[in-house]
């Protein structure tokens, strides 16, 4: 089932605006004959509503018009002593198009809101109360559990999986720097696979940091890289409420032959080149 002829809507809008010529009026008449439910007055009603909304001044009904209404035996209408005086009409085409779109949307959704008609997952057209056809909106079906994105494994499980599957994986224990109080009770290890360019750091007893003041940063010293410019392995925080902490390694460039991993204390967000004034932990291969 397809939407009705767009030409019909164009001519109906033209009639509402009062700018149809004789040939267009005849064309509209022919299209309305084939329209289910007869004439469609939605555009005219919309134009009338817009006219009423833009009225400013009310003036008395002319006496001769009131007399004619009485003569036609329409006293209830003749009792109306004031009629609105129209003001210059603003361009209605943009308003009319917007109002027509709203009407179409309402007609399409009404059967569903009242518990009738197609379900939200169906698409196509529906018949409004005046017999015109209105588009219905297609909604995607609610995702089922089976089609949703898989939940990432906990970091501890990812670490164990890397240890079990990566053939070149290395595991090295951290060594605390002698003069750094934040690592006085720290222990743990670093796990790394060069082929997968993945790794994890595990910490126990490393002093928590205030992320507004400082952050821990990992540096990877690679055999193929100048020691002055080690690979940045990312920044991280230690939360005292979490106990043991596992942190994934996020190397900014590939580290194919690492020889040393080092943790420093830096400003929030980390640095590009560390001054190495606060080395906390190291792990050498």
Express each pLDDT in 27-54 by its tens digit: 888 888 877 777 777 787 777 777 766 6
Residue 172 domain flag: yes
Q: How far apart are CA 67 and CA 15, in angstroms?
A: 30
Please name which of 281, 179, 178 lies closest in space to residue 238, comparing C-alpha atoms.
281
Are residues 177 and 280 part of one domain?
yes
- Taking 60 as the threshold, does the pLDDT of residue 88 lie above it? no
Convert the pLDDT of each residue in 104-124 to its tens digit: 554 454 444 444 444 444 444
- Taking 50 as the threshold, does the pLDDT of residue 126 lie above it? no
Domain that includes residue 12, residue range: 6-54+89-136
Are residues 102 and 168 part of one domain?
no
Convert the pLDDT of each residue in 138-165 to its tens digit: 445 555 444 556 778 899 999 999 999 9
* Number of domain units in the chain: 2
Sheet bearing 258-266, strands edge to edge: 175-176, 279-284, 258-266, 215-222, 231-236
Residue 244 domain flag: yes
Are residues 171 and 121 part of one domain?
no
Residue 27 domain flag: yes
| Residue 44 exposed, middle or buried by CB count within 10 Å (0-12, 13-18, 19+) | middle
Q: How far apart are CA 199 and CA 248, in angstroms?
A: 6
Are residues 192 and 112 part of one domain?
no
Q: How far apart are CA 46 and CA 49, in angstroms?
A: 5
How much is the mean pLDDT over the chain?
76
Residue 65 domain flag: no
Residue 184 domain flag: yes
Residue 64 domain flag: no
Question: Which among 136, 170, 196 is the end of a domain?
Answer: 136
Helix (H, G, I), strand (E, B) or coil at 176: strand
Cβ 199 vs Cβ 256: under 8 Å: no
Q: How far apart are CA 226 and CA 18, in angstroms?
A: 80
Are residues 132 and 32 part of one domain?
yes
Helix (H) or strand (E) holding 75: helix 75-78
Are residues 164 and 280 part of one domain?
yes
Residue 77 domain flag: no
Question: Which among 106, 136, 166 is the end of a domain?
Answer: 136
Residue 266: its pLDDT value, please?
93
Are residues 116 and 215 part of one domain?
no
Residue 99: its pLDDT value, please?
62
């Amino acid at each position: 089932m397809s939407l009705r002829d767009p030409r019909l809507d164009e001519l109906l809008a033209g009639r509402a605006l009062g700018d149809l010529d004789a040939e267009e009026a005849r064309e509209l008449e022919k299209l309305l004959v084939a329209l289910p439910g007869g004439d469609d007055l939605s555009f005219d009603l919309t134009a009338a509503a817009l006219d009423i909304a833009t009225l400013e001044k009310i003036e008395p009904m002319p006496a001769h018009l009131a007399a004619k209404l009485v003569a036609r035996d329409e006293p209830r209408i003749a009792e109306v002593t004031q009629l609105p005086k129209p003001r210059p009409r603003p361009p209605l085409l943009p308003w009319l198009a917007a109002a027509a779109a709203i009407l179409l949307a309402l007609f399409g959704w009404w059967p569903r809101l009242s518990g009738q008609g197609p379900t939200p997952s169906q698409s196509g057209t529906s018949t409004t109360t005046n017999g015109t056809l209105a588009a219905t909106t297609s909604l995607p079906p609610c995702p089922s559990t089976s089609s949703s994105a898989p939940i990432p494994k906990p970091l501890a499980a990812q670490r164990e999986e890397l240890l079990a599957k990566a053939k070149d994986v290395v595991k090295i224990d951290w060594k605390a720097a002698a003069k750094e109080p934040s690592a006085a009770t720290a222990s743990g290890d670093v796990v790394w696979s060069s082929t997968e360019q993945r790794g994890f750091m595990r910490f126990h007893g490393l002093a928590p940091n205030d992320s507004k003041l400082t952050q821990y940063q990992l540096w990877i010293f690679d055999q193929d890289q100048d020691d002055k410019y080690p690979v940045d392995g990312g920044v991280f925080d230690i939360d005292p409420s979490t106990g043991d902490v596992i942190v994934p390694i996020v190397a900014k460039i590939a580290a194919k032959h690492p020889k040393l991993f080092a943790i420093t204390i830096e400003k929030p967000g980390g640095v590009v080149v560390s001054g190495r004034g606060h080395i906390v932990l190291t792990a050498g291969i």
